[in-house]
A and B are shown apart, each in its own frame.
Chain A
Amino acid sequence: MIGLSHYLIVSAIIFSIGLVGVLRRRNLLMLFFATEVMLNAVNIAFAAISHYYNDLTGQMFAFFIIAIAASEVAVGLGILIVLFKRYGSLDLDELSSMRG
Chain B
Amino acid sequence: MENLVYIALFAPFVSSLFAALFGMTERKVWIGIVASILLGISWISSVTLAYHIYITGEPIHVTMMDWINAGDIHIPFGFVVDQVSVTMMSVVTTVSTVVHIYAIGYMDHDKSFNRFFSYLSAFVFSMMILVMSDNFAGLFIGWEGVGVCSWLLIGFWYHKEDLPREQNPSISPSWAANEAFIVNRIADLGMLVGIFVIYWNTGTLQYDEVFAQLPNLSPHILTIAAIALFIGAMGKSAQFPLHTWLTDAMEGPTPVSALIHAATMVTAGVFLVIRANPLFAMTPDVSFFIASLGTFVAFYAASMALVERDLKRIIAYSTLSQLGYMFAAAGLGAYWIALFHLAAHAFFKALLFLGAGNVMHAMHDELDVFKMGELRKKMKGTWIYMTLASLALGGLPPLAGYWSKDAIIETAFNEHTYFLWFILVVTAGMTAFYSFRQIFLTFHGEDRHTALGFHPHEMYKFVLVAMSPLAVLAVITGWFMKDYEEFITELLPAYEMSEHTHHLTAYLGLIVLAFAISGIVLAYFKYARTGKNAFKQDANVEQGFIFKLLKNQYYVPAIYERFITEPYKVISGILWTSVDVKIVDATVDGIAKFLYTSGDKTRSMQTGNLSNYLNWMAVGGVILLVVAVISAMIA
Q: Which residues of A contact B (CB under 8 A)?
A: 19, 22-23, 25-26, 31, 92-93, 95-100
Closest B residue to A19 using CB positions: B618
Contacts of B608 in A (CB 8 A): 96-100
Q: How far is the CA of A31 from the CA of B610 in the complex (A)?
A: 11
B610 and A95 contacting across the interface, CB-CB below 8 Å: yes
Closest chain A CB from B314 CB (angstroms): 74
Given contacts A92-B609, A93-B609, A95-B610, contact A100 B615 (CB under 8 A): no
A23 and B615 contacting across the interface, CB-CB below 8 Å: yes
Interface status of B606 (Cβ within 8 A of chain A): yes
Closest A residue to B606 using CB positions: A100
Contacts of B618 in A (CB 8 A): 19, 22-23
Contact residues of B between 588 and 635, Cβ < 8 Å to A: 603, 606-611, 614-615, 618
Q: How far is the CA of A21 from the CA of B607 in the complex (A)?
A: 20
Q: How far is the CA of A59 from the CA of B603 in the complex (A)?
A: 43
Interface residue count on the B side (C-beta < 8 Å) = 10
Closest chain A CB from B67 CB (angstroms): 55
Could you show 19 A-B contacts with beta carbons less than 8 Å apart?
Answer: A19-B618, A23-B611, A23-B614, A23-B615, A23-B618, A25-B611, A92-B609, A92-B610, A92-B611, A93-B611, A96-B607, A96-B609, A96-B610, A98-B608, A99-B606, A100-B603, A100-B606, A100-B607, A100-B608
A-B interface, 7 closest residue pairs, ranked by CB to CB distance from nearest? A100-B606, A99-B608, A96-B608, A98-B608, A96-B609, A92-B611, A92-B610
Q: How far is the CA of A98 from the CA of B618 in the complex (A)?
A: 20
Closest chain B CB from A21 CB (angstroms): 10
B611 and A26 contacting across the interface, CB-CB below 8 Å: yes
| 14 more A-B residue pairs beyond the given contacts A92-B610, A100-B603, A100-B607, with a C-beta to C-beta distance below 8 A | A19-B618, A22-B614, A22-B618, A23-B614, A23-B618, A26-B611, A31-B614, A96-B610, A97-B608, A98-B608, A99-B607, A99-B609, A100-B606, A100-B608
Q: Is the interface of B mostly helix, strand, loop or mixed?
A: helix
Contacts of B610 in A (CB 8 A): 92, 95-96
Closest chain A CB from B623 CB (angstroms): 15
Contacts of B606 in A (CB 8 A): 99-100
Q: How far is the CA of A26 from the CA of B611 in the complex (A)?
A: 7
Closest chain B CB from A56 CB (angstroms): 27
Q: How far is the CA of A98 from the CA of B610 in the complex (A)?
A: 10
Closest chain B CB from A15 CB (angstroms): 11
Q: How far is the CA of A25 from the CA of B608 in the complex (A)?
A: 16
Contacts of A97 in B (CB 8 A): 608
Closest A residue to B603 using CB positions: A100
Contacts of A96 in B (CB 8 A): 607-610
Q: 1/0 per residue B472-488: CB within 8 Å of A?
A: 00000000000000000
Q: 1/0 per residue B534-574: CB within 8 Å of A?
A: 00000000000000000000000000000000000000000
Contacts of B609 in A (CB 8 A): 92-93, 96, 99
Closest A residue to B610 using CB positions: A92
Q: How far is the CA of A91 from the CA of B610 in the complex (A)?
A: 10
Closest A residue to B622 using CB positions: A19
Q: How far is the CA of A95 from the CA of B607 in the complex (A)?
A: 11
Contacts of A95 in B (CB 8 A): 610
Contacts of A23 in B (CB 8 A): 611, 614-615, 618
Q: How far is the CA of A62 from the CA of B618 in the complex (A)?
A: 23
Closest chain A CB from B486 CB (angstroms): 87
Closest B residue to A99 using CB positions: B608
Closest B residue to A100 using CB positions: B606
Contacts of B603 in A (CB 8 A): 100
Q: 1/0 per residue B20-44: CB within 8 Å of A?
A: 0000000000000000000000000
Q: How far is the CA of A93 from the CA of B613 in the complex (A)?
A: 12
Closest B residue to A97 using CB positions: B608
Q: How far is the CA of A70 from the CA of B329 in the complex (A)?
A: 95
Q: How far is the CA of A51 from the CA of B564 in the complex (A)?
A: 83
Q: How far is the CA of A93 from the CA of B611 in the complex (A)?
A: 8
Q: Which residue, of B607, B608, B610, B611, has the highest number of chain A Cβ atoms within 10 A?
A: B611
Closest B residue to A35 using CB positions: B614
Contacts of A31 in B (CB 8 A): 614
Contacts of A25 in B (CB 8 A): 611
Contacts of B611 in A (CB 8 A): 23, 25-26, 92-93
Q: How far is the CA of A98 from the CA of B614 in the complex (A)?
A: 15
Contacts of A22 in B (CB 8 A): 614, 618
Q: 1/0 per residue B204-229: CB within 8 Å of A?
A: 00000000000000000000000000
Q: How far is the CA of A98 from the CA of B606 in the complex (A)?
A: 8
Contacts of B614 in A (CB 8 A): 22-23, 31
Q: How far is the CA of A48 from the CA of B15 in the complex (A)?
A: 79
Closest chain A CB from B180 CB (angstroms): 57
Closest chain B CB from A47 CB (angstroms): 22
Q: How far is the CA of A23 from the CA of B609 in the complex (A)?
A: 12
Q: Which residue, of A19, A25, A96, A97, has the highest number of chain B Cβ atoms within 10 A?
A: A96
Closest chain B CB from A39 CB (angstroms): 15
Q: How far is the CA of A26 from the CA of B603 in the complex (A)?
A: 23
Q: Which residue, of B606, B614, B618, has the highest number of chain A Cβ atoms within 10 A?
A: B614
Closest B residue to A26 using CB positions: B611
Q: How far is the CA of A96 from the CA of B611 in the complex (A)?
A: 10
Contacts of B615 in A (CB 8 A): 23
Contacts of A99 in B (CB 8 A): 606-609
Q: Which residue, of A19, A23, A95, has the highest number of chain B Cβ atoms within 10 A?
A: A23
Q: How far is the CA of A95 from the CA of B606 in the complex (A)?
A: 14
Closest chain A CB from B75 CB (angstroms): 56
Q: How far is the CA of A100 from the CA of B599 in the complex (A)?
A: 12
Closest A residue to B614 using CB positions: A22
Contacts of B607 in A (CB 8 A): 96, 99-100
Q: How far is the CA of A98 from the CA of B603 in the complex (A)?
A: 13
Closest A residue to B618 using CB positions: A23
Contacts of A92 in B (CB 8 A): 609-611
Closest B residue to A93 using CB positions: B609
